[in-house]
Amino acid sequence: MFAARGISHRPQREVTDSDRNKFAEVFKKCDENNKGYLSREDVKVAVMMLFGYKPSKREVESMMSAVQQTTTGMLLDGFLKSMSTKKAAQQCYDEARQIFTAFDNQYRGFLTCDDFKTVFRRIVPHFSERMIIETFREVDQDSDGHVSYKDFELAMSYGNSEA
Protein backbone atom coordinates (compact mmCIF):
# COMPACT_ATOMS: atom_id res chain seq x y z
CA MET A 1 0.00 0.00 0.00
CA PHE A 2 2.50 2.64 1.07
CA ALA A 3 5.02 1.44 -1.52
CA ALA A 4 2.58 2.29 -4.25
CA ARG A 5 2.52 5.81 -2.88
CA GLY A 6 6.27 6.30 -2.81
CA ILE A 7 7.13 5.50 0.80
CA SER A 8 10.04 3.11 1.05
CA HIS A 9 9.80 -0.21 2.86
CA ARG A 10 11.65 -1.02 6.01
CA PRO A 11 14.25 -3.74 5.61
CA GLN A 12 13.19 -7.33 6.20
CA ARG A 13 13.56 -8.31 9.86
CA GLU A 14 16.61 -10.37 10.65
CA VAL A 15 16.78 -13.03 13.28
CA THR A 16 20.21 -12.85 14.88
CA ASP A 17 22.64 -15.63 15.68
CA SER A 18 21.91 -14.90 19.33
CA ASP A 19 18.20 -15.55 18.67
CA ARG A 20 19.01 -18.82 16.91
CA ASN A 21 21.27 -19.89 19.78
CA LYS A 22 18.47 -19.15 22.23
CA PHE A 23 16.03 -21.17 20.10
CA ALA A 24 18.47 -24.11 20.05
CA GLU A 25 18.95 -23.88 23.82
CA VAL A 26 15.18 -23.95 24.39
CA PHE A 27 14.89 -26.89 21.97
CA LYS A 28 17.41 -28.84 24.07
CA LYS A 29 15.60 -27.96 27.31
CA CYS A 30 12.27 -29.09 25.88
CA ASP A 31 13.65 -32.25 24.26
CA GLU A 32 13.04 -34.61 27.14
CA ASN A 33 15.21 -37.72 27.09
CA ASN A 34 17.31 -36.28 24.21
CA LYS A 35 15.13 -37.95 21.61
CA GLY A 36 16.13 -35.42 18.90
CA TYR A 37 12.69 -33.95 18.27
CA LEU A 38 9.90 -32.04 20.00
CA SER A 39 6.40 -33.40 20.39
CA ARG A 40 3.40 -31.11 20.02
CA GLU A 41 3.35 -30.59 23.79
CA ASP A 42 7.09 -29.86 23.78
CA VAL A 43 6.55 -27.24 21.07
CA LYS A 44 3.85 -25.58 23.19
CA VAL A 45 6.23 -25.38 26.14
CA ALA A 46 9.03 -24.02 23.92
CA VAL A 47 6.78 -21.28 22.52
CA MET A 48 5.74 -20.36 26.05
CA MET A 49 9.39 -20.12 27.08
CA LEU A 50 10.36 -18.02 24.05
CA PHE A 51 7.32 -15.81 23.47
CA GLY A 52 5.44 -15.83 26.76
CA TYR A 53 2.14 -17.30 25.65
CA LYS A 54 0.60 -20.73 25.12
CA PRO A 55 -0.06 -21.31 21.43
CA SER A 56 -3.40 -22.74 20.35
CA LYS A 57 -3.70 -26.30 19.09
CA ARG A 58 -4.27 -24.89 15.59
CA GLU A 59 -1.11 -22.76 15.78
CA VAL A 60 0.98 -25.75 16.87
CA GLU A 61 -0.50 -27.87 14.08
CA SER A 62 0.33 -25.12 11.60
CA MET A 63 3.93 -24.91 12.83
CA MET A 64 4.32 -28.68 12.77
CA SER A 65 2.99 -29.04 9.23
CA ALA A 66 5.07 -26.14 7.90
CA VAL A 67 8.45 -27.67 8.75
CA GLN A 68 10.32 -30.90 8.23
CA GLN A 69 9.62 -33.32 11.03
CA THR A 70 9.79 -36.95 11.96
CA THR A 71 6.60 -38.94 12.26
CA THR A 72 6.67 -38.22 15.99
CA GLY A 73 7.81 -34.60 16.22
CA MET A 74 9.63 -31.48 15.08
CA LEU A 75 13.37 -31.68 14.38
CA LEU A 76 15.83 -28.97 15.43
CA ASP A 77 16.17 -27.48 11.92
CA GLY A 78 12.41 -27.21 11.58
CA PHE A 79 12.12 -25.72 15.06
CA LEU A 80 14.77 -23.09 14.28
CA LYS A 81 12.98 -22.19 11.05
CA SER A 82 9.59 -22.00 12.74
CA MET A 83 10.81 -19.90 15.67
CA SER A 84 12.75 -17.58 13.34
CA THR A 85 9.58 -17.00 11.31
CA LYS A 86 7.61 -16.37 14.50
CA LYS A 87 10.26 -13.94 15.83
CA ALA A 88 10.32 -11.96 12.57
CA ALA A 89 6.51 -11.77 12.55
CA GLN A 90 6.53 -10.57 16.15
CA GLN A 91 9.04 -7.83 15.27
CA CYS A 92 6.82 -6.66 12.40
CA TYR A 93 3.77 -6.67 14.67
CA ASP A 94 5.62 -4.71 17.37
CA GLU A 95 6.78 -2.13 14.84
CA ALA A 96 3.31 -1.76 13.30
CA ARG A 97 1.86 -1.27 16.78
CA GLN A 98 4.44 1.44 17.56
CA ILE A 99 3.70 3.27 14.31
CA PHE A 100 -0.05 3.07 14.90
CA THR A 101 0.40 4.44 18.42
CA ALA A 102 2.51 7.31 17.07
CA PHE A 103 -0.25 8.15 14.58
CA ASP A 104 -2.91 7.91 17.32
CA ASN A 105 -1.64 10.87 19.33
CA GLN A 106 -5.04 11.31 21.03
CA TYR A 107 -5.11 7.67 22.26
CA ARG A 108 -8.53 6.89 20.81
CA GLY A 109 -7.65 3.46 19.48
CA PHE A 110 -8.39 4.48 15.89
CA LEU A 111 -7.10 6.96 13.34
CA THR A 112 -9.02 9.65 11.50
CA CYS A 113 -8.22 11.27 8.20
CA ASP A 114 -6.98 14.30 10.15
CA ASP A 115 -4.49 12.04 11.99
CA PHE A 116 -3.22 10.85 8.59
CA LYS A 117 -2.94 14.43 7.31
CA THR A 118 -0.96 15.52 10.38
CA VAL A 119 1.51 12.67 10.17
CA PHE A 120 1.90 12.70 6.40
CA ARG A 121 2.52 16.48 6.38
CA ARG A 122 5.39 15.95 8.83
CA ILE A 123 6.90 12.88 7.21
CA VAL A 124 6.22 13.42 3.49
CA PRO A 125 5.30 17.10 3.06
CA HIS A 126 5.34 16.76 -0.75
CA PHE A 127 2.26 14.48 -0.64
CA SER A 128 -0.82 16.30 -1.86
CA GLU A 129 -3.87 16.38 0.36
CA ARG A 130 -5.68 14.37 -2.30
CA MET A 131 -3.06 11.60 -2.06
CA ILE A 132 -3.30 11.56 1.74
CA ILE A 133 -7.09 11.28 1.59
CA GLU A 134 -6.85 8.54 -1.03
CA THR A 135 -4.36 6.65 1.14
CA PHE A 136 -6.65 7.01 4.16
CA ARG A 137 -9.62 5.69 2.18
CA GLU A 138 -7.56 2.73 1.00
CA VAL A 139 -6.61 1.82 4.57
CA ASP A 140 -10.13 2.44 5.96
CA GLN A 141 -11.40 -0.99 4.88
CA ASP A 142 -14.98 -0.60 6.11
CA SER A 143 -15.30 3.08 5.07
CA ASP A 144 -16.45 4.17 8.52
CA GLY A 145 -14.08 7.16 8.69
CA HIS A 146 -11.88 5.41 11.25
CA VAL A 147 -8.82 3.25 10.73
CA SER A 148 -8.68 0.58 13.41
CA TYR A 149 -5.44 -1.12 14.34
CA LYS A 150 -6.65 -4.17 12.39
CA ASP A 151 -7.09 -2.03 9.24
CA PHE A 152 -3.69 -0.43 9.82
CA GLU A 153 -1.92 -3.75 10.40
CA LEU A 154 -3.46 -5.18 7.25
CA ALA A 155 -2.26 -2.18 5.25
CA MET A 156 1.24 -2.48 6.72
CA SER A 157 1.46 -6.19 5.92
CA TYR A 158 0.15 -5.54 2.39
CA GLY A 159 2.87 -2.97 1.87
CA ASN A 160 5.55 -5.37 3.13
CA SER A 161 4.39 -8.12 0.79
CA GLU A 162 5.11 -5.91 -2.24
CA ALA A 163 8.82 -5.59 -1.40
pLDDT in tens, 120-161: 888 899 989 999 999 999 999 889 999 998 888 888 776 554
Q: What percent of the chain has pLDDT over 70?
A: 86
The model's pLDDT over 57-76, given as tens digits with 9 standing for 90+, comes to: 999 998 988 886 667 889 99
pLDDT band at 106 (very low <50, low <70, confident <90, very high): confident
pLDDT of residue 2 exceeding 50: no
Please report, in angstroms and rounded to a whole number, the separation of the first and last CA atoms in the chain: 11
Please tell me the least confidently modeled range out of 5-14, 102-111, 127-136, 139-148.
Answer: 5-14
Alpha-carbon span 159 to 36, nearest angstrom = 39
pLDDT at residue number 1: 41
How far from the centroid of its chain's Cα atoms is residue 150's Cα?
A: 12
Contacts of 7 (CB under 8 A, 6+ apart): 124, 159
Q: According to CATH, what is the number of the domain 104-161?
A: 1.10.238.10
The model's pLDDT over 15-33, given as tens digits with 9 standing for 90+, comes to: 888 999 999 999 999 998 8
pLDDT band at 5 (very low <50, low <70, confident <90, very high): very low
Beta bridge partners of 102: none
pTM for the full model? 0.60
Provide CATH 1.10.238.10 ranges for the chain. Answer: 17-90, 104-161
pLDDT at residue number 6: 38
Which fold does the domain 17-90 belong to in CATH?
Answer: Recoverin; domain 1 (1.10.238)
